[in-house]
Amino acid sequence: MMIKTAEPKLKHIEVPVLARVEGEGALEVEVRDSRIAHLRLRIFEPPRLFEQFLVGHHYNEIPDLVARICGICPVAYQMSGATAVEHLFGCDPGPWVRRMRRLFYCGEWIQSHALHIHLLAAPDLLGFDSAPAMASRYGDELRRGLRLQRLGNRIIELFGARSVHPVGARIGGFWKAPRPEQASSLAEEVACAIPEAQALVRWTASLPLPQRPQSFTCVALRHPDEYPMIAERIVSDAGLDIPVDAFETHFSETQVPHSTALHGLHDGRPYLVGPLARLNLNLDRLHPKVSTALEDSGIRFPSHDMHHSILARAAEILQALLDAAMILSDYEARDPAHVEVHPRAGTGRGASEAPRGLLWHRYDLDDRGLVGYARIVPPTSQNQPRIEEDLRITLTQLGLDKDEETLRRAGEIAIRNYDPCISCATHFLRLRLRR
């Protein structure tokens, strides 16, 4: 006699989704008996091997080489790389270089956050498939976003000579200081943009943001007196407070079969990096005008709701513009625009806050100044386990019995909250849903 046993309910569906991320990936969800059995955010683009490309190159080449890793945040790669080498050499670039690097970095935050808010995230929240579809009803807001993005690029160009893969940075500072009249002209543009950024904070706070708080650990840099862009310590809201050099002791990367991107873990657990984590951990470092704008928004920070990350990005645009205005107001050119360095063999580590979060570099140099080993830990690989954790919670709370389009859209929005930089290209993400 044969007894037939009931098989668990299983369904497998594949649909194209998520056109508004940088790079190509796929989300696979397997549902068994109304529960998520497997969930994988697959990143299947070929490895780019930049760390190995750096091996054998002279330390002076690091800033230009790593700038090619990302077209959206090249400054972050340059600053993390430069500070890592300078730490090894015992080089203090001095207050002028530090201020100008902050100005350089402000440009990147402004342009990257403006792009994400207006072209990637806002269509989700307002029910449009794309930014062009928004234009008929939100044309003024989109034009404001493009103006801010363009201004961010102009700030990068001031020191970088161009906004994409800039070439102006070097170990010890910059190759050349801009002329005072260039800085003066840009200062006027920045001052005019501050009211627009204040309006942007109000607008993002007024968007129909879902309320879905979750529990997660925030990790970011911490500066003694500035909102962090480049800093020496890493902190978390779970009590972590370590020097940048100790990153490898507390954070690890693991390879998973379904992704060519490594998964970052803090003491074996997922964690969050990026604008929301930075804001949560550095509220007391904000400019008073940013603090006031957030208080007036009606949304309270610290927040553990990823949908508030759009407001965190708007607040950081305002912070960056206020910082840029202050630096440009008393700008003086310097020649040379760098300090001399004295190379030595050893290991250097450095970190900065890319728009998407903590970016950590390590370089082992020999006595000729050549790279023998390089390790780069980008924000997206650190956030990938947190994204998968978020997706499990979000889709389960929404209801796994919902139709595929509803689940697909919820998954898209959850992923785009993190602004993952899978690569510099934009493709489709495919959802494979098995029930």
Q: What is the pLDDT of residues 296-354, one digit of tens each?
A: 999 999 999 999 999 999 999 999 999 999 999 999 999 999 999 999 999 999 999 99
Give the residue-averaged pLDDT of 79-85: 98
pLDDT at 22: 53
Q: For residues 88 and 364, what is the distance between their CA atoms, to the nearest angstrom?
A: 9
Answer whether residue 71 is part of any domain: yes
Query: What share of the chain in percent tops pLDDT 90?
Result: 73
Among the listed ranges 5-9, 260-264, 325-329, which one has the minimum average pLDDT value? 5-9
pLDDT at 24: 66
Q: For residues 314 and 141, what is the distance between their CA atoms, to the nearest angstrom?
A: 13
Position 61 pLDDT exceeds 90: yes
Give the residue-averaged pLDDT of 401-422: 84
pLDDT digits (tens, 9 = 90+) for 205-239: 999 998 899 999 999 999 999 999 999 999 999 99
Q: Give buried/exposed letters for 1-21 (b at 16+ CB in 10 A, else e).
A: eeeeeeeeeeeeeeeebbebb
- 48: confidence class by pLDDT, cuts 50, 70, 90: low
CATH of the domain at 183: 1.10.645.10
Count Cβ atoms within 10 A of the Cβ of residue 229 and give its class: 0-12 exposed, 13-18 middle, 19 or more buried.
buried
Query: What share of the chain in percent tops pLDDT 70?
Result: 90
pLDDT at 8: 44
More confident position, 407 or 56: 56
Answer whether residue 11 is part of any domain: no
Give the residue-averaged pLDDT of 191-210: 97
Which residue matches tokens 């080498």?
85
3-class secondary-structure state, position 253: strand
Q: For residues 372 and 168, what is the distance between their CA atoms, to the nearest angstrom?
A: 25
Position 433 pLDDT exceeds 90: no
Could you count the other beta carbons within 10 Å of the beta carbon of residue 132?
11
Answer whether residue 345 is part of any domain: yes
Pick the closest to residue 357 from 323, 312, 325 (CA basis).
312
Answer whether residue 296 is part of any domain: yes
Pick the closest to residue 338 from 183, 182, 171, 180 (CA basis).
171
- 429: confidence class by pLDDT, cuts 50, 70, 90: very low
Q: Give buried/exposed letters for 260-297 (b at 16+ CB in 10 A, else e).
A: ebbbbbbeeebbbbbbbbbbbbbeebbbebbbebbeeb
- Beta-bridge partner residues of 25: 43, 429
pLDDT at 434: 65
Tell me how many domains the chain contains: 1
Position 161 pLDDT exceeds 50: yes
Which residue type occupies 401? D
Write out the residue range of the structural domain in which residue 367 sits.
59-214+267-381
Q: For residues 141 and 129, what is the distance between their CA atoms, to the nearest angstrom?
A: 16
Answer whether residue 23 is part of any domain: no
Pick the closest to residue 75 from 169, 9, 209 (CA basis).
169
pLDDT at 377: 92
pTM summary value: 0.91
372-375's contacts with Cβ under 8 Å and 24+ in sequence apart are: 372/55, 373/55, 374/50, 374/51, 374/52, 374/54, 374/55, 375/51
Give the residue-averaged pLDDT of 143-156: 97
pLDDT at 298: 94
Give the residue-averaged pLDDT of 404-415: 86
Answer whether residue 371 is part of any domain: yes
Mean pLDDT score of the chain: 89
Cα 164 to Cα 28, 111, 142, 299, 359: the distances in Å are: 33, 11, 22, 34, 18
Position 3 pLDDT exceeds 50: no
Answer whether residue 426 is part of any domain: no
Among the listed ranges 20-24, 139-143, 206-210, 412-416, which one has the minimum average pLDDT value? 20-24
Which residue matches tokens 């501050």?
194
Give the residue-averaged pLDDT of 69-88: 94
More confident position, 247 or 31: 247
Beta carbons within 8 Å of 212's beta carbon, 6+ residues apart? 305, 306, 307, 393, 394, 397
Q: Dihedral sign, CA of 190, 191, 192, 197? A: positive
Pick the closest to residue 393 from 416, 417, 410 (CA basis).
410
Answer whether residue 28 is part of any domain: no
DSSP run (H or E) holding 427 = strand 421-434
